[in-house]
Amino acid sequence: MSINIRTMPLLFIAVLFAGALNANDLPADFLKTSGTLIKNQGGQGEVVQLVGPNLGGWMLMESHMSPLHPRYADKNEKYKNVFDEVSLRNALDTRFGEVKRWELINAFQDAFITEPDFEIIGRSGSNVVRLVIYYENHMDEEGNWHPWKFERLKWAVEMARKYGMYTILDVHGPPGTPNGNDHSGQQTWVPKGVKHPTLTQNRVLNLYTDERRQQMYFKFLRGLAEEFVGNPAVAGYDILNEPKSDAKRDRPHLWPLMEQAYQTVREVDPDHIIFMMYAFSAYGFPDPQDYGFTNVVYSSHFYNDTAKIISKAREISDTFGVPVYVGEFHVKDGGKDGILEALTASGISYSWWSYKTWMNSMLKQVNGKANIPDVTSDSFEEIRTKWSNWRTSSEDSEISLAWMEAILAATDAPSIRHPE
């Protein structure tokens, strides 16, 4: 298989084993870390720099980028009704029942990202997608698996592989929330001046304090690892997105939780990379040797100071001797600020946020405002019709491809090798 950029997965094989395999026993495109680098051939081959978009807003809706509420900009209106996955699903259950709720959610997810989207991303030269995951698509609130379990994730991983890309499985919305924000699936606070019957300005981070939710989280990670163990099309597991850690309150809970999450995955899958992040900072990471972390990549997200992305990322890598991955950041002016070229030249792996939204985004333009339903008043058929209209149009496809090709045009660096 020959593709136009970066080392890509060529095989799709499931290898089950009890312990870590020798690099020679792993598929050629299986990624592992080697010092501060990511390499194929189980960490013994060529350097692989992972570059591509996040697939946000698809399997986990966010109020600012997903068709949740037509008046999302009015904070009092937004927080009165639907503002996250929990309130969305509760509203749909109340109005239509669980079976109809799933019919509506599937209508949206079937439309928002389809095979042509993966083809577009692959044609752009990307070699990875970061797949945003919300646990309730796979497990109920009591921790029971849905009958379909990971079927949509398996399909997405296969589509990415088909078009020459790895997948990072990103646990964005675990049982409980690590940050209290809507992008975790559960918003637990409201901004100043907003009135809400139950939420206040105090952020609740119940993943750190609720034993039942923690056990569900570990069960979810174990199930994910059992499903994808040995699969070379998976770059690794991003085990917890944007954990917020207040130094006085939450930090004592965070890394013990991450340690147990790491061990949960390793009991099933000793070979895949585990991506671990600490909010939006180059500081706060532990020495991986203190916890026995191996084959890990440290990740951070940089939104407020993109000019310092490279220096901060290098600081993480140099300090802890592990590869670093910039999992989210904004692309300004189509990448005209030069940050993408600089990131690529630095050898740092990165994913921009995000591929597709209802408004003008960094890389995707969807004029979909007319197809944002009011789930509190629109009929079942109206909601289904509007959400089903979120397929990427041919016009949007060309816009998206042009954006990404322009952004990735200057990515032919010596460290980026092609597969034979």
Using pLDDT thresholds of 50, 70 and 90, give the confidence band for residue 356. confident
For residue 25, give the DSSP letter.
Answer: G
CATH (domain of 356): 3.20.20.80
**How many domains does the chain fold into?**
1
pLDDT score of 4 more than 60: no
Residue 48 exposed, middle or buried by CB count within 10 Å (0-12, 13-18, 19+): buried
- Residue 380 domain flag: yes
**What are the tens digits of pLDDT across the range 178-205?**
999 999 999 999 888 888 888 888 888 8
- In terms of Cα–Cα distance, which of 151, 192, 177, 168 is closest to 84? 177
- Residue 39 domain flag: no
- Residue 19 domain flag: no
**What are the tens digits of pLDDT across the range 243-281?**
986 555 556 788 899 999 999 999 999 999 999 997 666
pLDDT of residue 70: 80
- Residue 25 domain flag: no
Strands (E), 271-409: 273-277, 296-302, 324-329, 349-352
- What residues make up the domain containing 166? 52-407
Percentage of the chain modeled with pLDDT above 90: 57
Tokens 């919305």 sit at which residue? Answer: 173
- Residue 117 domain flag: yes
**pTM score, two decimals?**
0.91
For residue 69, give the DSSP letter.
Answer: -
Mean pLDDT rounded to a whole number for the chain: 85
- Residue 396 domain flag: yes
Using pLDDT thresholds of 50, 70 and 90, give the confidence band for residue 8. very low
- Residue 231 domain flag: yes
For residue 230, give the DSSP letter.
Answer: T
- Residue 412 domain flag: no
Highest mean pLDDT out of 27-41, 333-347, 388-402 = 27-41
